[in-house]
């Protein structure tokens, strides 16, 4: 047992993937959905007042009258997708969380909103349809490995019409510099984020070269030791532009966030609008 604990706590090679599909775990996915839907919590989706500001700004810079067909990549439970639809876009959302997509479909039905949702890994996306505008919001791009970032950029490029636009945000180098390496632990007796029953959570926060960090969460319960790997890659304006340009995108605008704040290098996030 103790040697297994030590193995699970070791720093893995960069971009090692978690062995289990935790986003589709019956219990964990419920906690994730709760986090998405909490309007006051910046965990899985941003806080509601930010999202409202963000959607209003997006509608002004990429208006639905000129860019009606919108693809929301990693749409979660459809918080953005619904607001985009109410602003006049025809929205398609894709996400590999079954619970989020089920929730999004039911919510659209309840609100009488016509949104197409796909339960699918966006790295394998093949929708046989072209879009005017794609969004990938809340720094999900940086959670991917270098290779998977190329895959999703190519997929999005392929799904856009000529002249179509892509808006995405990433964490900045400033945030990478502020990241503190540390190890922490806590015990949850009941109904924690990762398990319903009692468990210990051992966290390692590690920096890697190439502006990459790992939050390594090891869950130790009565019967198991399970490590989860949450990766983030951080970008400068130049490094993000370079990745997008290598696929064929052209830069259209740079901002500090997806609500249109003026670009400042010291901001925690960078949002860039590209066109094809």
Ligand X SMILES: C[S@@+](CC[C@H](N)C(=O)[O-])C[C@H]1O[C@@H](n2cnc3c(N)ncnc32)[C@H](O)[C@@H]1O
- Per CB under 6 A, residues contacting ligand X are 23, 44-45, 74-76, 79-80, 94-97, 100, 121-123, 137-138, 140
Nearer to ligand X, 90 or 98 (CB): 98
Q: How far is the CB of 32 from ligand X (least distance, A)?
A: 8
Task: Work out how close the CB of 54 gets to ligand X at its nearest, in angstroms, rounded to a whole number.
Answer: 9
Q: Select the residue whose beta carbon is closest to ligand X and give its number.
A: 74
CA 228 to CA 219: how far, in whole Å? 8
Q: Shortest approach of ligand X to residue 146 CB, angstroms? A: 15
Query: Quick one: 76 or 227, whose CB is closer to ligand X?
Result: 76
- Of 132 and 169, nearer to ligand X (C-beta) is 169
Identify which of residues 26 and 238 has a Cβ nearer to ligand X in the complex.
26
Pick from 225, 209, 171: nearest CA to 217:
225
Beta bridge partners of 170: 270
How many other C-beta atoms lie within 10 A of the C-beta of residue 140?
17
Alpha carbon distance 83, 52 (integer Å): 8
Phi and psi angles of residue 227, each rounded to the nearest 5 degrees, phi first: -90, 140
**Long-range contacts, 1-5 (Cβ 8 Å, 24+):** 1/225, 4/225, 5/202, 5/218, 5/220, 5/225
Q: Which residue's CB is nearer to ligand X, number 80 or number 176?
A: 80
Provide, rounded to whole angstroms, the least separation between the CB of residue 231 and ligand X: 11
Minimum CB–partner distance for residue 36 and ligand X (Å): 6
Helix (H) or strand (E) holding 159: helix 146-159
């Amino acid at each position: 047992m103790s040697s297994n604990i030590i193995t699970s706590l070791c720093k893995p090679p960069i971009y090692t993937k978690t062995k289990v599909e935790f986003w589709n775990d019956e219990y964990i996915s419920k906690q994730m959905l709760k986090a998405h839907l909490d309007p006051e919590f910046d965990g899985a989706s941003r806080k509601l007042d930010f999202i409202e500001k963000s959607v209003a700004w997006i509608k002004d810079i990429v208006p639905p009258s000129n860019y009606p067909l919108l693809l929301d990549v990693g749409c979660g439970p459809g918080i953005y997708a619904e607001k985009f639809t109410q602003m006049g876009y025809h929205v398609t959302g894709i996400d590999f969380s079954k619970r989020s997509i089920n929730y999004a479909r039911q919510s659209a039905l309840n609100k009488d909103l016509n949104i197409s949702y796909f339960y699918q890994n966006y790295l394998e996306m093949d929708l046989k349809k072209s879009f005017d505008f794609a969004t990938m919001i809340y720094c999900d791009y940086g959670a991917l490995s270098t290779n998977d970032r190329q895959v999703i950029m190519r997929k999005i490029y392929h799904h856009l019409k000529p002249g179509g636009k892509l808006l995405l945000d990433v964490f900045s180098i400033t945030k990478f510099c502020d990241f503190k390496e540390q190890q922490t632990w806590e015990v949850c007796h009941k109904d924690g984020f990762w398990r319903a029953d009692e468990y210990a959570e051992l966290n390692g926060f590690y920096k890697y070269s190439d502006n990459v960090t790992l939050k390594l969460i090891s869950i130790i319960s009565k019967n198991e030791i399970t490590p989860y790997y949450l990766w983030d890659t951080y970008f400068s304006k130049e490094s993000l532009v370079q990745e997008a340009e290598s696929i064929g995108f052209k830069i259209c605008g740079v901002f500090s966030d997806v609500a249109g704040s003026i670009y400042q290098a010291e901001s925690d996030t960078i949002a860039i609008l590209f066109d094809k």
